[in-house]
Amino acid sequence: MIDINSKIYIAGHKGMVGSAIWRTLTEKGYTNLIGASSQELDLKDQKAVQDFLVKTKPDVIIDAAAKVGGILANNDFPYQFLMENMQIQNNLISQAHQLDVEKFIFLGSSCIYPKLAPQPLKEEYLLTSALETTNEWYAVAKITGVKLCEAIRKQFQKDFVSLMPTNLYGIHDNFDLSSSHVLPAMIRKFHEAKNSNNAPVILWGSGKPMREFLFVDDLAAAVVFALENELPEHLYNVGTGEDLTIKELATTIQKIVGHTGNIIWDENKPDGTPRKLLDVSKMHQIGWKHQVNLEEGIQKTYDWFLKNIETLKEKSY
């Protein structure tokens, strides 16, 4: 039985997702949390992971560790995105199974679903048709993690569960324009344009595609929900179940940042997938729902960006 004294290892606890989970668990009174930075523990090293878990003996493992990046990074480094993500999760999942860890929570991504699957995306659409080619390497790795957890659950009746979040944003996000995702990139672009006499902001595409965004603390709450309850199925989507156009997102961020210049849409640049919305009815049915609306989440993210603007690390691949 999991309680506030259970020893919980959060892999990737320094990242945006891992740090939100750590923060949320601490706020709920969990005191026995363990983490190791990438300098302290290379999750790609099978022996190092084995030694660490034998020594620390966690009751729960939450896998929030991954090699992540945008379209460019996925396209340029397909081997690393496939191999390194499989190494990380295989080491954690296999050791969790061998050491009889009580619960394992695997975090993936909505990119595991087929490119042309019907909208909104249901869990049962997994492996029904071809993936989006721009991030298939990362997606294939995450699919193997989902299937490993399902296999252990099926064969050994262990409480291994996979959560697939939609597009995440929030505190500790990546704001580097060369590798960040659309929402944090827009925050930075509008902020810098505001500080340059409200210069025009140029954004890619038509602004017509629709996207769903989840504040990272809401994902952390879903992880805690999965921790404190035995979920009846192996795979759950985690999102808001609501989406908006990229154009609507841009005007929302522009208003929050306080930029008053023009937005120019460069329609020579690609739009990407027209729509990507998760069906989150399974999580709703078992009792979890997101709490933070988009405007509130963007405001919290922008406030954090302003406080940390001098120390934000630029990521490169």
Q: Is the pLDDT of residue 317 over 70?
A: no
Question: What's the pLDDT score for residue 313?
Answer: 54
Residue with tokens 């179940």: 241
108 is in an annotated binding site: yes
DSSP for 98-153, written as a single string: HTT-SEEEEE--GGGS-TT--SSBPGGGTTSSPPPGGGHHHHHHHHHHHHHHHHHH
Q: Report which of residues 15 and 272 the model is more confident about.
A: 15
Mean pLDDT of 296-301: 98
The catalytic residue among 113, 138, 169, 302 is 138
Number of domains in the chain: 1
CATH number for the domain spanning 303: value is 3.40.50.720
CA distances in angstroms from 159 to 5, 20, 51, 52, 102, listed in the order given: 19, 23, 23, 21, 7
Annotated ligand binding at 181? The verdict is: yes
Q: 276 has which bridge partners?
A: 211
| Domain-located, residue 2 | no
**Tokens linked to 104:** 């394992």
Q: Which domain holds residue 270?
A: 8-308
Q: What share of the chain is helix, strand, coil (3-state, %, to 5)?
A: 45, 15, 40
The H or E element that residue 33 is part of is strand 33-34
Q: Is 18 annotated as a binding residue?
A: yes
Name the nearest CA neighbour of 89 among 6, 158, 160: 160
Query: Do the domain assignments include residue 313?
Result: no
Q: Has 204 been labeled as part of a binding site? A: yes
CB-side neighbour CA atoms (13 Å) of 226: 31
109 is an annotated ligand-binding site residue:
yes
Provide the pLDDT for residue 175.
Answer: 93
Q: What is the pTM of this model?
A: 0.95
Average pLDDT over residues 281-296: 98
Q: Residue 189, annotated ligand binder?
A: yes
Q: Is 168 annotated as a binding residue?
A: yes
Report pLDDT digits (tens) over 223-280.
999 999 999 999 999 999 999 999 999 999 999 999 999 999 999 988 877 889 999 9
Contact in structure between 24 and 220 (CB atoms under 8 Å): yes
138 is catalytic: yes
On whether residue 314 sits in a domain, the answer given is no
Confidence of residue 316 (pLDDT cuts 50, 70, 90): very low
Nearest Cα neighbor of 11 from 113, 91, 81 is 91
- Is the confidence at residue 13, as pLDDT, over 90? yes
Out of 128-132, 216-220, 306-310, give the one with best mean pLDDT: 216-220
When the pLDDT of each residue in the chain is averaged and rounded to a whole number, the result is: 95
211 belongs to an annotated ligand binding site: yes
Q: Residues 23-38: what's their mean pLDDT?
A: 97
Q: Is 142 annotated as a binding residue?
A: yes
Mean pLDDT of the region 17-40: 97
Task: Look at residue 291 and tell me if it is in a domain.
Answer: yes
Give 315's pLDDT tier (boundaries 50, 70, 90).
very low
In order, the DSSP letters of 225-272 are: HHHHS--SSSEEEES-S--EEHHHHHHHHHHHHT--S-EEEETTS---
Q: Per-residue pLDDT tens for 88-127?
A: 999 999 999 999 999 999 999 999 999 999 999 999 999 9
* Any domain includes 102: yes
Q: Is 315 part of any domain?
A: no
For the stretch 163-191, pLDDT in tens is 999 999 999 999 988 778 899 999 999 99
In a domain, 317, yes or no: no
